[in-house]
Amino acid sequence: MRKVQPPRAATGQSATAHLVNPFYWLWCLLPLLCWAVVELSVDPVFLFKRLNTATQHLPDLLWVFFNMLGNGWGVFALLCPLLIFAPRALMATLCAGTVAGVLSRTLKLSLQFPRPASVLDPASFHIVGNPLTSLAMPSGHTLTAFALATALYFSVPPAKRKYALGLFVLATLAGLARIAVGAHWPADVMAGMSIGLFSGMLGATLAQRIPARLLGPQAWLMRIASAGAALCIYVLLADRLDFDETRPFQYFAALVGIGGLFLFLKETIKPQRDQRTQ
């Protein structure tokens, strides 16, 4: 009699497990190669000012929005619906964000590179908000945006990944926004891209190994994730992130987060409610 194999989800393995091809890890080097070429061929100050000026053809409010895509508090609130609809993808972003945060902070404190406003006359280029002067390398917003985009991309089945390529466009705009608001050098953004790609692929790889039983609405892991979502919502409503102009985007992200958290809480208490009615 032929033995029937159990579904992969029942064995605790993701249906998209082990899809981060070893070749893809070379993507992490591409931004660094571009950075090396630029450094050898263009003066960094000239490139920064040129990009900073060129981006002013678009309104500051648009760049503030793109900047928000690299802010972890806002992005994780926007991802709250994944608590119900794609928990493994959400865990991939959380793993990637954790790795990205540790790497970003460690490198910033170790390198202590100056930002444009501490090297150049602040009046010589466009700045949104208060001038920042220290901890330039790498760009944390760019790193976060690319880490989450990469984690989500590799959480999608290969046949549908072409629809997720737009995530990298948004991440690139988040990085460009850091130059547009006068906060980072192009080199900082390139480094953030590289480390973000690495963090995202590592986060997706780790999430693929999480047993399926830990991804249900009643699982302790997802309840911890929901508590983190609640913290993101609180920060968005209570604090000003990055710029005064960010407030409308913060409230929108908080609203999405509240909706996702409500759906999750509704599911996580359902078995207890059904048990009482029996």
Evaluate whether residue 24 is within a structural domain: no
In a domain, 5, yes or no: no
Tell me the DSSP string of 22-45: GGGGGGGHHHHHHHHHHHHHS-HH
Within-domain flag for 45: yes
- The one-letter code for the residue type at 15 is A
Cα–Cα distance list, 69 to 92, 127, 172, 241 (Å): 17, 19, 10, 12
Both structure tokens of 230: 């609640």
Q: Is the residue at 22 inside a domain?
A: no
Domain presence at residue 11: no
pTM of the model: 0.89
Q: How many domains does the chain have?
A: 1
Query: Which region, left, alpha or beta, applies to residue 132 given φ > 0 means left and ψ of -120 to 50 means alpha?
Result: beta
The backbone torsions φ and ψ at residue 241, rounded to the nearest 5 degrees and listed phi first, read: -105, 120
On whether residue 20 sits in a domain, the answer given is no
Q: Which residues of 60-79 are buried (b: 16+ CB within 10 A; e: fewer)?
A: beebbbbbbbbbbbbbbbbb
Structure tokens at 11: 């064995």
Give the domain range for residue 37: 30-277
pLDDT tens by residue, the chain, 278 residues:
444 444 444 334 444 444 567 788 888 888 888 888 888 888 999 999 999 999 999 999 999 999 999 999 999 999 999 999 999 999 999 999 999 999 999 999 999 999 999 999 999 999 998 888 899 999 999 999 999 999 999 999 888 899 999 999 999 999 999 999 999 999 999 999 999 999 999 999 999 999 999 999 999 999 999 999 999 999 999 998 888 889 999 999 999 999 999 999 999 887 655 545 44
For 277, residues 6+ apart whose C-beta sits below 8 A from its C-beta are: none
Domain membership flag for residue 246: yes
| Closest-CA residue to 27 (of 153, 175, 138, 156) | 153
For residue 106, how many other CB atoms are within 10 A of its CB? 10
What are the distances in angstroms from CA 61 to CA 57, 82, 128? Answer: 12, 28, 10
- Which CATH number is 152's domain given? 1.20.144
